[in-house]
Amino acid sequence: MNLKSVFALLAAGTFLVACGADEVVNSNDEAKEKATVTIKVVDNHDGSPIAEAKVYSVVDDDEEMTDEFGLATWKKQVLGNHVFQVSKKGYATIQTRVTVEEKGMGDVARVPDVVAQVDMYKTGVNAKGTVLYVDDEGNKKAAAGVVVYASLPAVFVPSEIADTTDKNGEYVFANLPEGVAIDIAVGQKEFDKKKYSVAAPTQISVAGQYRAGDVVKAPILTMTPAAGEVVLVNSNLSKIDTNTNITLTFSSELVADSVKDNWRVSRGGTNVLTTATLSSDKKTITIAPVSKTWTKGSTYTVYGTAYSQDGGVFYASNTGTNRLTFEPGTGSTAKAPENLSGLKAVASEDFAGRFVVSWTAPKGSDVVAYNFYYKTNKMNDYEFYTQFDLFDIDENSIMLRENSFSGTGVTKVSFIVLPENASGLEADVSKAKAVEYKFED
């Protein structure tokens, strides 16, 4: 969770929670494969043992009660991590992890027993606070309906609780554990159609140790407008024909003043005359050429800056990075090339151990390369072999070596050749035909 504001219920320098050091209570000289794990439960304030605390083993799915010395014992615990939850009325539930490790040498297992101390914290501390927000006129108002989160150290169960502010912007966290640092975070909330959040985190160290029954007054938290991210979620730049208007759709409502006279289109570094309008839902910008047409084959750049209602910014540059470009007539007609025909594979008469794959090029498509896929009689699937561009082939044919595909038991190889165009679109494989070449004995 990204904490927006924090305060501490503990003096600076006080340790958050006792981790509990593992203590070896038997010698490694004793040969055994499992350990006895003892959980020692004490009061964090005075160190006194806590009897009749419930100790639940997550691994064993079973529970034990501590005795008068605050001890609960678990026998025959295997190697690895063991998680326990310790609870008692009047105290916060604590989760602890105990690791059982082998300490022996050689082939004899020597697993020492372990004692893990768990410090328990009495509950009863109450924290109260107020959340305000600043409106457009600079007035502070009660932030009602805001979710406020309190995060405790991870050993506590639960480690996060929440409350919602009332009509006065007030929240209360009741029955918190004493002497523990608590982080307070405020979620985003919309007021007057704008998203608000706490401007910056605040750390406050409260002197003294709070005990059960004490009331802590948290500092007032003030929310200000949050600058939301503006994302271009959709555009038709890849589909523009010579008479198609540009549409740019964003994730947030835009300020109208950031659209008019702020979005332009250039060709070859020179601006062309356009109009820019904002849709009724304030999320889509439409840009149209005054001449009602774009020049086919030319490259255009769309640039400008859009501001959202909550202060977010989207920027498109005329040069360098963050450019939006389009070529009229290419995107709208771009399609995969047709499949080639007349695919053949024959032995080469000029070179022993080589063969030629040839084909008739498809018509009416902007083929720039051919993708080769192959499968031998020892393979289950066709795999990509390589890509030949138009400069690598000799009038739609290519010579290959037999030993590029040979291997134990390989007697033949099949090919599927798929043409690809400048847009990176490949021909439909479902309409492709395979050609087979058999190796000579």
State pLDDT tens for residues 272-302.
999 999 998 889 999 999 998 898 878 899 9
What is the C-alpha separation between 418 and 399, in angstroms, rounded?
Answer: 17
Return the amino acid letter for 415.
F
Question: E strands, 279-377, where?
Answer: 284-289, 300-307, 313-316, 324-326, 341-347, 354-360, 367-376
Domains and CATH numbers, the chain: 22-120 (2.60.40.10), 127-225 (2.60.40.1120), 232-326 (2.60.40.1220), 341-438 (2.60.40.10)
What's the rounded mean pLDDT across residues 324-329? Answer: 86
Residue 334 banded pLDDT, cuts 50, 70, 90: low
- For residue range 177-236, list pLDDT tens digits in order: 887 878 888 877 888 777 788 765 544 333 345 666 778 888 888 888 776 678 888 888
**What is the per-residue pLDDT for 200?**
54
Written in H, E and C, the secondary structure of 182-222 is CEEEECCEEECCEEEEECCCCCCCCCCECCCCCEEECCCEE
CB-based contact 434:418 (threshold 8 Å): no
What's the rounded mean pLDDT across residues 371-385? Answer: 92
CA–CA distance from 57 to each of 71, 86, 87, 98 (Å)? 14, 9, 12, 11
- Phi/psi for 291 (5° steps) reads -75, -5
- Phi/psi for 346 (5° steps) reads -135, 155
Residue 17 banded pLDDT, cuts 50, 70, 90: very low
